[in-house]
Structure 1
């Protein structure tokens, strides 16, 4: 079965981390294959380690289509080139035996919806939703339209599913962004770097990183020496955050490290005790899960699905309105010698979760 997977861009993020897991599943499958349709950019390093063929146009892909490999079309366009993108997507569907389109995020959903309507029932659309709130009005409009037009919908968490008024308890359409790795629990727990924090994600206003920096400032104001490393691509916030760091005299405490490659996760994350994330909205929050299974204690805002797996004082620290209380809770883990206990609970929380691989494989088997 040939599936056309439509994504906006190949970059570091939860959705894209899930895409890598999807590709890993597809490569092992004798029944399914992917064409990955990428709207923006030409990041050919993203699929390093996978057996992938890259193409620059639908015509080229059709001519050189390799059924034994995953074929990736890099359109390198913007959503304003929507007519071109629709034509390219439509040409693939018309020329190859595509059974389904799977689409994520609003830009991908726009062109997928239009092609689904144009093709009527000749192609089936599956929309994959990843956030428990909308980014903006256009996202709300497009996402709701995708929900109505799609033949099937899948969600990264129950909290995401709820905003589409889906209150049924079935979980076959929930694909949790929990990516499990085989890690040594004892080595993780016994390693500690006091007051070390990390953030992994986009430098975007929705991540509210300035609030995280203010927490670091409060820790330092108590005579402590916190370290906060920020990993991720700039999406409009870097200059503002750098200005804040300099204004608060935190240049020796806060560092911007650029993009963290997936292959470096284990090595890098072993250097920290906490994952600090002050997002305004999330879905499953895969970076929090990634940190927890590596023994990092999440210091997080209670948004999206986070409220359903993070319990303050047991496996995490929940950020409320009072920064002083947050810092008190962090400091008390060291003073009360509870750091390893909470680290262990964080690891166990993820160990007990259903994982992306199993749920997505099951979902494919039901198509």
Structure 2
């Protein structure tokens, strides 16, 4: 990396480890591992349990005022702007990015999934805004070659770079997964507990599995966007077969992954979720929907099981299959672990990221 790049502004939600944002986790990983750069954090985005409505509007307005003051001091700086393509972000972030160009700042836009990424029914006004942003002569970081083609074809973007999310693998170095021959399968969901993650379909699937007498232990880790939206229903229905862990971090998270058999994510849209990479690195068998860039890591019946979104029957099928065939569970889990260890290298990730930063030199 060129020696004249010493400081970069990184824009994302709070860096507090207790924040469940995947975007924040990616930013923390970058700041921790990129020793060639001094990062200055500017916070934009939702916090855990933050109020919506008028409160959110006022907070965004205050953020925008602070952003302008910040840019006056940092005029001409390089900005690593993390951008999930959701409705709220599409309304807010293009304005922040556009005003940064007025202050001669040099943008790198880092995409983190979102429901408008692969949605063919994107509203006209959203498409118009996004095409305006992505047509700027600025580097755009995406999670896979699939996303790269989408940005080039759908939004007419140039200078698009594929750089899949990465994780630290230190906790998995000495771990060896043992086959679960006869214990009930431990199924883990970890992440934001919101409808778009397929939570209602998980509930319907496990309700039927319970009725069929299939033993299981279902664990949720993360946080609800709205208090008591889902957790109470799971507790009341599944009793001792369900456990809610809340937010898990560091060693507690590692121990949870070691004890779990399956990672379940029937999400409606994603980028490349860190939770998937972390769970696969510990040899959990992923049961996931083929959305975003998940296919980069998971190949159906090779190192996991791909299911349809909005479909509880597929979840039931996959769980029953692995319940009845423990050798397959073990083989898929080991192959998922191998995939992550072979595919992801933090040093190579940072090297490629710094090459993208060099676009502006």
Q: TM-score, normalised by structure 1?
A: 0.77
Partner of 1:326: 318
Name the structure 2 match of 1:361.
Answer: 351
Matched-pair contact (CA < 8 Å) for 1:292–1:346: yes
Q: Distance in 2 between matches of 1:99 and 1:346?
A: 40
Query: How far apart, in 2, do the equivalents of 1:20 and 1:133 lie?
Result: 24
Deviation at 1:338, TM superposition (A): 2.8
Q: Indicate which of 248, 264, 275 corresponds to 2:263.
A: 275
**CA distance 1:141–1:191, change in 2 (3 Å):** farther
2:283 and 2:334 in contact (8 A); partners too = yes
1:59 corresponds to which residue?
none
Q: Which among 110, 113, 119 is matched to residue 94 of structure 2? A: 110
In the alignment, does 2:281 pair up with 1:293? Answer: yes
Aligned position for 2:25: 17
Name the residue aligned to 1:197: 187
CA distance in structure 2 between the aligned counterparts of 1:118 and 1:310, rounded to whole angstroms: 42
Alpha-carbon separation, structure 1, partners of 2:346 and 2:151: 21
Residue in 1 aligned with 2:204?
Answer: 214
State which of 111, 123, 128 in structure 2 corresponds to 1:129: 111
> Aligned partners of 2:136 and 2:349: how far apart in 1?
23
Tell me whether 87-96 or 342-351 shows the greater mean CA deviation: 87-96
Q: How much has 1:294 moved relative to structure 2?
A: 0.4
* Superposed counterparts of 1:1-367, under 5 Å: 1-10=6-15, 11-26=19-34, 28-29=35-36, 32-39=37-44, 78-96=56-74, 99-105=77-83, 106=89, 109-119=93-103, 122-131=104-113, 133-134=115-116, 142-149=129-136, 151-165=138-152, 173-183=161-171, 187-190=175-178, 192=180, 194-236=184-226, 239-242=228-231, 244-245=233-234, 249-320=237-308, 321=311, 322-323=313-314, 324-334=316-326, 337-355=327-345, 357-366=347-356, 367=358
2:214 alignment partner, SS class:
coil
Whether the aligned pair in 1 keeps the contact of 2:299 and 2:305 (CA below 8 Å) is yes
Greater CA deviation, 88-97 or 291-300?
Answer: 88-97
Q: Secondary structure at the match of 2:13?
A: strand
What runs of 5+ residues in structure 2 fail to find an aligned partner? 1-5, 49-54, 84-88
Structure 1 stretches lacking a partner, 5+ long: 44-76
For residue 260 of structure 1, report the CA deviation from its aligned partner.
1.6
Quote how far apart the aligned CAs of 1:231 are.
0.9
Compute the RMSD of aligned alpha carbons.
3.1
Per-residue deviation, residues 112-147 of structure 1 (Å, max 9, x unmatched): 32322422xx21111111116428858656544431
Deviations 1:258-315 (Å, cap 9, x if unpaired)? 1122443212211100111110111112211110110100111121222343223221
TM-superposition CA deviations, 1:237-276 (whole Å, max 9, x none): x5332354256x2122222221122443212211100111
SS of equivalent to 2:224: coil
* CA shift in 2, pair 1:150/1:357, >3 Å: farther
Q: Secondary structure at the match of 1:131?
A: coil
Q: Number of matched residues?
A: 324
Q: 1:210 to 1:94 in 2, by over 3 A?
A: same
- Is the contact between residue 301 and residue 319 of structure 1 (CA under 8 Å) also seen in structure 2? yes
User: Quick one: structure 1 residues 333 and 171, their matched pair in 2 at CA, closer, same or farther if it must change by over 3 Å?
Assistant: farther
